[in-house]
Amino acid sequence: MDDDNTPGTVIVVEDDPAVRLGVTQALQLAGLEVRAMESAELALAAVDRGQRCVVVTDIRLPGIDGMELLGLLKRVDPQLPVIVITGHGDVQTAVEAMRAGAVDFLEKPFSSERLAQIARQALLARGAWLDALALGDAPQRIEAQIIGASRVMRDLRHKLLALADVDTSVLLHGEIGTGKESAARSLHAFGARARHEFVALNCAGLPETLFDSEIFGHEAGSFTGASGRRIGKIEFAAGGTLFLDEIETMPLAQQAKLLRVLQERRFERLGSNQSRPMQCRVVAGTKVDLRQLAAQGGFREDLYYRLAVVELRLPPLRERLDDVPLLFQSFVLEAARAAGRALRPIPGAHLLDLMTRDWPGNVRELRNAAERFVLGMLPDDDAPAPELNFEQRVHAFERQLIVQALRRSGGRVSVAAAAMGLPRKTLYDKMKKLDIARGDADDVA
């Protein structure tokens, strides 16, 4: 019996008494607390918003069926983890369930060990999410990796810390240069897996012909040129973290192979018949909307749901311009140390000027600007405009923030005002003073 004592309850919904008893006993033997129910109606009455639980339900139930139960539970609590049990080979139903919000599915017949593993991971993820909502200020140590004092970055640090010790897969979604690898490294560094390897692989730079060898490894003689055994990324990252960046570039054939490994948690080296356990955590990074890409046929929908058990968005720098001074100063200090240069003062006007830009390259572009500043190699667009006085620069920065808020709100002033924490009349007054029209939002890239 497992003494894990994972906090929380597994609510089992199954109308067949024999199956219900078997599932209950299997979960209890794995050390999990279980409440078994014979109908969806009883489950609905037992679940409250914010409850530390996971629901395991069969699709075929009398009265309210499993799919309808899933939808109703998501209305009660959108973040509640629900695991569905489907008939053998009913792939379409499984995909529909995950599209509707299920965190995972099991096809009959399934092993008790697999059910317990999925339920435990779901409970841990649920606990991490609830803890993240109540978490106070993040420790200083993560602030050195995930820099920013804005609310959105504080929230991101909270979630990364809460998820660090959870084995569930995480999908990091953000534009180029927003720091997806830094976030992945934080998930690794601040959890128990930090004692093992962090392995990063950019899928865009991986030729299809090398996929199996790079990911799974190969045995000597398995193909022409394979003179010796090679340990693949999954095996090398055992106990640690495998970060798959630009996952959207992975060809569909390779996606199918990765999906199988994620489902079975086992893999084989190329040229070997021996199945090996997958012991690493997978974190994926993408710059596109994978759900939309899947709808267009460019990405496997079932793989998306496997990777995005938890999905975190990394904001572009233009949405947190108030973090620019802190980031720039940190990057200048880092660049000065690396180059062996003495620190020189950063003019306040220069920082203010940096805060008025759109930064399409995000944090990576700002880091490059800091390195140029340290080396004294400032191009024209890095140098502050001398003809603007301090008040003019403040107005330019304020104008940029308002235009960005209008762009995000689709030109709706009331929505932009609420997002900025301003009364609507105040925002109208500022727009008039700074000569901002609603249509100006369309001009911001």
SS3 of residue 285 by DSSP: strand
Q: Is the pLDDT of residue 440 over 60?
A: no
Strand partners, 199: 242
DSSP string covering 161-181: HHHTT--S-EEEE--TTS-HH
Please state which of the ranges 21-25, 190-194, 198-202, 390-394 shows the lowest mean pLDDT: 390-394
- Model confidence band, residue 75 (pLDDT cutoffs 50, 70, 90): confident
DSSP string covering 104-136: EEEESS--HHHHHHHHHHHHHHHHHHHHHHH--
- Model confidence band, residue 442 (pLDDT cutoffs 50, 70, 90): very low
- Model confidence band, residue 156 (pLDDT cutoffs 50, 70, 90): very high
pTM, full prediction: 0.66
> For 152-175, what is the mean pLDDT?
93
pLDDT digits (tens, 9 = 90+) for 37-55: 999 999 999 998 888 999 9
Neighbours of 336 (CB within 10 A): 18
Kindly state the helix (H) or strand (E) to which residue 9 belongs, with its residue range. Answer: strand 9-13
Task: Measure CA of the first residue to CA of the last residue in the chain; give whole Å.
Answer: 57
> For 19-44, what is the mean pLDDT?
93
Same fold, 316-387 and 388-445: no
Domain ranges of the chain: 9-123, 135-315, 316-387, 388-445
Q: Out of 148-162, 207-221, 250-264, give the one with best mean pLDDT.
A: 250-264
- What is the C-alpha to C-alpha distance for residues 360 and 316, in angstroms, rounded to an integer? 8
In this predicted structure, what is the pLDDT of residue 381?
Answer: 53
CATH class of 9-123: alpha beta
Kindly state the helix (H) or strand (E) to which residue 231 belongs, with its residue range. Answer: strand 230-231
Q: What is the CATH number of domain 316-387?
A: 1.10.8.60
- What is the C-alpha to C-alpha distance for residues 324 and 326, in angstroms, rounded to an integer? 6
pLDDT digits (tens, 9 = 90+) for 179-215: 999 999 999 999 889 989 999 999 998 888 888 899 9
SS3 of residue 85 by DSSP: strand
Neighbours of 88 (CB within 10 A): 8
Whether omega for the bond prior to residue 109 falls within 30 degrees of 0, making it cis, is yes
- What is the C-alpha to C-alpha distance for residues 265 and 254, in angstroms, rounded to an integer? 16
- What is the C-alpha to C-alpha distance for residues 365 and 370, in angstroms, rounded to an integer? 9
CATH fold of 135-315: Rossmann fold (3.40.50)
Looking at the chain, the whole-number percentage of residues with pLDDT higher than 90 is 47
Task: Write the DSSP symbol of residue 342.
Answer: P
> For 16-37, what is the mean pLDDT?
93
The tokens for 206 are 């991986």
Q: Is the pLDDT of residue 352 over 80?
A: no
**What phi and psi values does residue 344 have, to the nearest 5 degrees?**
-120, 150
- Model confidence band, residue 82 (pLDDT cutoffs 50, 70, 90): very high
Kindly state the helix (H) or strand (E) to which residue 94 belongs, with its residue range. Answer: helix 91-99
Q: Identify whether the C-beta of residue 155 lies closer than 8 Å to the C-beta of residue 315.
A: no
Q: What is the CATH number of domain 388-445?
A: 1.10.10
Kindly state the helix (H) or strand (E) to which residue 403 belongs, with its residue range. Answer: helix 390-408
pLDDT digits (tens, 9 = 90+) for 396-423: 777 777 887 787 777 888 888 887 778 8
